[in-house]
Amino acid sequence: MIRWFIVTLLALVIFSGLQTWLRKLGFGRLPGDLHFRLFGRDWSLPITSTLILSLMAAGLARWLCGLEYPGGYPHLCRASQESAP
């Protein structure tokens, strides 16, 4: 439980640090990303950008688990290696 909290916290810190760079690439301005002003503050809900970045991260994880290096990446692919014969 604490491991997922730490991973989520680190991902949020990394993505918030990369926010200006990601905006230059178009993330945060896609259709489905909501921007509104409430109580004198600008709010942003980048729903579409979050979905795209999540799919990219899942694809990267799946690709890393599929690599056949000696020793592999057991800390990333523990479930897939336990079920393998």
Element (H, E) at 30: none
CA proximity to 7, closest of 69, 75, 74: 75
* Average pLDDT value over all residues in the chain: 77
Whole domain around residue 26: which residue ranges?
2-83
pLDDT of residue 17: 82
Least confident piece of the model among 6-10, 18-22, 80-84: 80-84
pLDDT of residue 72: 54
| 40 confidence band (pLDDT: 50, 70, 90) | very high
Q: Determine the straight-line distance between the first and last CA of the chain, rounded to whole angstroms.
A: 29
Residue 74: helix, strand or coil by DSSP? coil
The predicted-structure confidence for 52-74, as pLDDT tens digits, reads as follows 888 888 888 777 776 655 555 55
Please state the domain count of the chain: 1
